[in-house]
Amino acid sequence: MPVWLTHFTTTYLMWNEGPMIWGSDVLILLTMLGIVVTLTRLRRWKWLWREWLTTVDHKKIGIMYLLAALIMMFRGGVDALLLRTQLAVPGNHFLSAEHYDQIFTTHGTIMILFMAMPFIFALFNIVVPLQIGARDVAFPYLNAISFWLFFFGAMLFNISFVFGGSPDAGWVSYPPLSELGFDFGPGENYYLLALQISGIGSIATGINFLVTIFKMRAPGMKLMRMPLFSWSVVAASVVIIFAFPALAIALALLTLDRVAGTHFFTILHGGDPMMFVNLFWVWGHPEVYIVILPAFGVYSEVVATFARKRVFGYSSMVLSLMLISVISYFVWAHHFFTMGAGAGVNTFFAIASMLVAIPTGVKVFNWLFTMFRGRIRLTLPMLWTIAFVPCFTIGGATGVMLAAAPADYQYHNSYFLIAHFHQVLIGGVVFGMLAGMYYWWPKVFGFMLDVRLGKIAFWLFNIGFYVCFMPQYALGFMGMQRRMYTYPTDMGWGTLNFISTIGAYIMGLGFLFIVIQVLYSIKHGERDLTGDPWDARTLEWSLPSPAPHYNFAVIPTVTERDMWWELKERKETDRLKLKSDMITPIHMPKNSGRPFLMGVSFFIAGFGLVFEWIPIAVLGLIGILLSLLFRAFEYGDEHTIPADEIRETEAALGRL
Amino acid sequence: MAFIEYALHGRVANEEKPLEYQDPEQSIKILGFWIFLATDMLLFGCLFATYLVLRTHTDGGLTAKQLFDVPGFATETFLLLTSSFTGGLATLAMRNRNKSAVLAWIAVTVLLGLGFLGFEVSEFAANVARGATMQRSAFLSAFYTLVGTHGLHVSIGIGWMIVTWIQIARKGITRVTARKLFVVNLYWHFLDVVWVFIFTVVYLSGVVM
């Protein structure tokens, strides 16, 4: 092999690092080949471009987010299993220390930013316009840009594994460790740029959905008649808008330190690493509320539907959502009580952190009271919701323990903390997102997911969860620290770690069953011909499944909360029935390939900056600029659906 | 006529409102842009916070007092504040449906913006010639990044103004171009407000304290 080729394969492809990289390379190549061959054989390239890559339809964008979130959950989950395998027994060297660092970094980053975020955005997109009686979001074109920025940000982050090396300074990426002096590979740059790109998309999504909900609700749908999921999207969007700029700055300044040689967070020349830590958590703590609030929204919808009762304490539910989003800004320093901010500061943040438990407690009690004396149906969404209650309550209680600043000096960065935040993020967010996925699946795809396989997945995942994380609380008390690569036998941590690893594998099996369930149901799942398979309460269930691409042929006028349920109770569903002469032409936004190309340009620019290959970065920036310019000169980005076509569609759906 | 108009349920064009707000689709974009400005403000807020933390971390290099050139930043302030006024005049002319006045005032605004940028670039160049590079100290890193981010915003604003100028020249004053002009002016005024803070927090306090 010529020298330059050897250099290339060693430096960039890391072929000298052994079988794990080779295996990944082969798998990626096979997957790509599989996709290309399948698309070509089925002649689906045009279909892919027309129906998906250029779409601005919120429902399709939602599906793409969902798919991406599940794939990223797989990637993050494989990372988790590798970590747990390494920790299963004392003195283990299954992974090298460097790989271990990289894998816990990618596990955390992917699960928060490339799994939880797209998962909530999937539900935002799928549900909100249907629930508030709109035909799309306020800015459909921007919505597509948001998706592609997320997608290409995630791609950029993921290719680091096989091209140049993954980031390895933890998902929080604290300097000075993440500065050039200690971490000179391209991995950290990948982290900074991938998060920056997807973060821009997230800010745009926050703006988009806030405007959508404020301006595009069906007539008569006053704010206090709005379904609670949409309320939770308001709360989450507000937090996104106020929190993400801080992340953008934290990342940008660290990028400048690494690329331009500035001294924001270095130890030399007066830099202050604590500034990064503050900026990061000013975003970071609100971020976990961004992902939990929509999950709270899902639980509210699911509980009311499957207890067949109006949700208990609607106004207090709204108020507590908003309170949580406000308090989320005053708790960030609890992530570093031990860094010496002083007793006064710690007291403030300790009390603020404990305060979060109050509105959250209100919500938990409201869900329980909604179930109380309800006619509960144990469907899959309801199972996940019921499982959430004890899980999140334990996680919340250990959170209050951690919020007690003096006690935190004992638990800080121990496995107690690991167990706590996995319990709230899995028990809260993942359970919630899965509940939401099961709940709205028939609305999106028009068929139900198989219940038997779903129940197996549910039990495996839940049992696995407790087996995995309960021992970690104990390990924390026994002194085991997070991010520990391996440990000696005489610490006595071996047994609990082994149990924990078994639990992780059971969870992995649970995930596998979800995948099997989806694949099985595509073929054998029961079709939903009613549009309302759960006998549910809100407007989206008054539409056929899947909804036509203009959603509502005629926008309904809303007269009360849980409108669809009330109409069914009073046998007045005819009020929403279409009449031929009510239908007028509808204007819808046109598809556009530009958001996708803009995502590609961001990817190229980001990739160039990662390796500081300036010509490539400039090429990407030119692409971004051109797509902005073409958009500025674009007039008439909408098309009209004639009334007759709508009549035909609705008649075919049996609604006219 | 837009899908949003239907989504907004027959709230058809309202002639009593200012031109840029008459079409619901355009009016909703203005709201979206206000919220974007909130995020941009927070972006600058974080940069200001960083600057205030690192302001005294000069590491033996030039301090704010030694560095800042009063006539220079006073001129920059004068140019930018005036450009914000002329931008406002463009909006006023737009509401009076006076196309040529709109085009003229945008052109003046762009020229004043370019003047501002020219002074800023020469200020930075002079600083660097004195050894005050952004790699020299944490204070300088924060200074160049904060003021430079504002300068970058101004540059984008200038490009955006030119693009808007071309569209108004071609299409005249319509509900769509009126909204475009209004939004780019919002952006421009916002940058003016940010500059007022840079002027006081960075330059004035730097010279005085």
What are the angstrom distances between the C-alpha of A616 and each of A145, A605, A613? Answer: 21, 6, 6
Contacts of A175 in chain B (CB under 8 A): none
pLDDT exceeds 50 at position B2: no
Residues A16-55 have pLDDT tens digits of 888 888 988 999 999 999 999 999 999 999 999 999 999 9
CB contact at 8 A, A240 and B107:
no
pLDDT exceeds 50 at position B109: yes
Other beta carbons within 10 Å of B172 = 12
Residue A245: predicted pLDDT: 98
CB contact at 8 A, A138 and B2:
no
C-alpha of A320 from chain center: 22
CB contact at 8 A, A467 and A530:
no
pLDDT confidence band for A637 (50 / 70 / 90): confident
Q: How many Å apart are CA A5 and CA A9, to the nearest integer?
A: 6
Continuous H helices in A328-430: 343-355, 357-371, 380-403, 405-411, 415-424
Residue A82 host element (H or E):
helix A58-87
Tell me the two tokens of residue A421.
């935040």
Q: How many Å apart are CA B138 and CA A253, to the nearest integer?
A: 11
Sign for the CA dihedral angle at A502, A506, A509, A511 comes to negative
B53–A272: do the CB atoms touch at under 8 Å? yes
Q: Does B53 touch chain A (CB under 8 A)?
A: yes
Determine phi and psi for B165, rounding to 5 degrees.
-55, -50
A635–B176: do the CB atoms touch at under 8 Å? yes
Contacts of A586 in chain B (CB under 8 A): 3, 6
Terminal alpha carbon distance of chain B: 57
The pTM of this model reads 0.96
Mean pLDDT of A127-140: 97
Residue B13: predicted pLDDT: 63
Q: How many Å apart are CA B150 and CA A433, to the nearest integer?
A: 40
- Kindly report the CATH number that applies to the domain delimited by A44-546+557-577: 1.20.210.10
CB contact at 8 A, A138 and A144:
no
A135–B3: do the CB atoms touch at under 8 Å? yes
**Is B11 part of a structural domain of the chain?**
no
Among A368, A356, A389, A366, which residue's Cα sits nearest to residue A239? A356
Residue B4: predicted pLDDT: 55
A-contacting residues in B 124-163 (Cβ below 8 Å): 134-139, 141-142, 144-145, 160, 163
Residues A197-208 have pLDDT tens digits of 999 999 999 999
pLDDT exceeds 60 at position B6: no
Among A337, A299, A291, which residue's Cα sits nearest to residue A317? A299
Q: How many Å apart are CA A296 and CA A395, to the nearest integer?
A: 15
Up-side HSE of residue A308: CA atoms within 13 Å toward CB? 11
The amino acid at A127: V
Kindly compute the dihedral angle of the four CA atoms of residues A233, A236, A239, A241, in this order, to the nearest 10 degrees. Answer: -50
Q: Which chain B residue's Cα is nearest to A641?
A: B3
Contacts of A256 in chain B (CB under 8 A): 141, 145
Q: How many Å apart are CA A270 and CA A387, to the nearest integer?
A: 50
Tell me the two tokens of residue B105.
């005032």
C-alpha of B132 from chain center: 26
Number of independent structural domains in chain B: 1
Domain layout of chain A by residue ranges = 1-43, 44-546+557-577, 583-656
Residues A50-102 have pLDDT tens digits of 999 999 999 999 999 999 999 999 999 999 999 999 999 999 999 999 999 99
Q: How many Å apart are CA A541 and CA A155, to the nearest integer?
A: 35
pLDDT exceeds 80 at position B3: no
Residue A176 preceded by cis peptide, ω within 30: yes
pLDDT confidence band for A341 (50 / 70 / 90): confident
Determine phi and psi for A132, rounding to 5 degrees.
-100, 0
Q: Does B6 touch chain A (CB under 8 A)?
A: yes
Up-side HSE of residue A547: CA atoms within 13 Å toward CB? 29
Q: How big is chain A by its Cα radius of gyration, in Å?
A: 25
A263–B138: do the CB atoms touch at under 8 Å? yes
Q: How many Å apart are CA A552 and CA A399, to the nearest integer?
A: 44
Other beta carbons within 10 Å of A373 = 9
3-state SS class at A592? coil
Number of Cβ pairs closer than 8 Å across A and B?
131
CATH of the domain at B173: 1.20.120.80
Q: Mean pLDDT score of chain A, rounded to an integer?
A: 96
A-contacting residues in B 93-112 (Cβ below 8 Å): none
A241–B39: do the CB atoms touch at under 8 Å? yes
Residue A418: predicted pLDDT: 97
HEC string of A62-75 equals: HHHHHHHHHHHHHH
What are the angstrom distances between the C-alpha of A514 and each of A73, A449, A460, A504, A523? Answer: 12, 9, 10, 15, 15
Is the ipTM beyond the 0.90 threshold?
yes
A245–B39: do the CB atoms touch at under 8 Å? yes
Q: How many Å apart are CA A365 and CA A372, to the nearest integer?
A: 10
Residue B1: predicted pLDDT: 34
What percent of chain A has a predicted confidence (pLDDT) above 70?
A: 100
Among A197, A324, A111, A220, which residue's Cα sits nearest to residue A600? A197
DSSP A527: B
Note down the domain range covering B59.
Answer: 19-208
Residue B209: predicted pLDDT: 80
CA angle, A269 then A271 then A276, to 5°: 165
pLDDT exceeds 50 at position B198: yes
pLDDT exceeds 70 at position A380: yes
Class for the domain spanning A583-656: mainly alpha
B32–A138: do the CB atoms touch at under 8 Å? yes
Cβ contacts of residue A562 below 8 Å, gap of 6+?
A: A227, A304, A310, A537, A538
Burial class (CB in 10 A: 0-12, 13-18, 19+), A43: exposed
Residue B8: predicted pLDDT: 53
Contacts of B4 in chain A (CB under 8 A): 138, 216
Continuous H helices in B96-209: 99-129, 138-171, 175-197, 205-208
CB contact at 8 A, A545 and A446:
yes
Mean pLDDT of A373-383: 96
Residue B202: predicted pLDDT: 97
3-state SS class at B193? helix
Q: Which chain B residue's Cα is nearest to A130?
A: B7
CA distance, residue B38 to nearest chain A CA (Å): 8
Q: Does B34 touch chain A (CB under 8 A)?
A: no
Residue B12: predicted pLDDT: 58
CB contact at 8 A, A609 and A189:
yes
Contacts of B52 in chain A (CB under 8 A): none
Q: How many Å apart are CA A76 and CA A297, to the nearest integer?
A: 25
Cβ contacts of residue A342 below 8 Å, gap of 6+?
A: none
Tell me the two tokens of residue A409.
């000096």
Helix, strand and coil in chain A, % to nearest 5: 70, 0, 25
Among B133, B89, B116, B111, which residue's Cα sits nearest to residue B198? B116
Q: Does B64 touch chain A (CB under 8 A)?
A: no
Residues A458-515 have pLDDT tens digits of 999 999 999 999 999 999 999 999 999 999 999 999 999 999 999 999 999 999 999 9
A279–B47: do the CB atoms touch at under 8 Å? no
Mean pLDDT of B117-141: 96
HEC string of B10-53 equals: CCCCCCCCCHHHHCHHHHHHHHHHHHHHHHHHHHHHHHHHHHHH
Mean pLDDT of B118-143: 96
Contacts of B39 in chain A (CB under 8 A): 203, 206-207, 241-242, 244-245
Mean pLDDT of A296-303: 98
Contacts of B32 in chain A (CB under 8 A): 138-139, 207-208, 211
Interface test with B, best of A179, A249, A549 (most B CBs within 10 A): A249
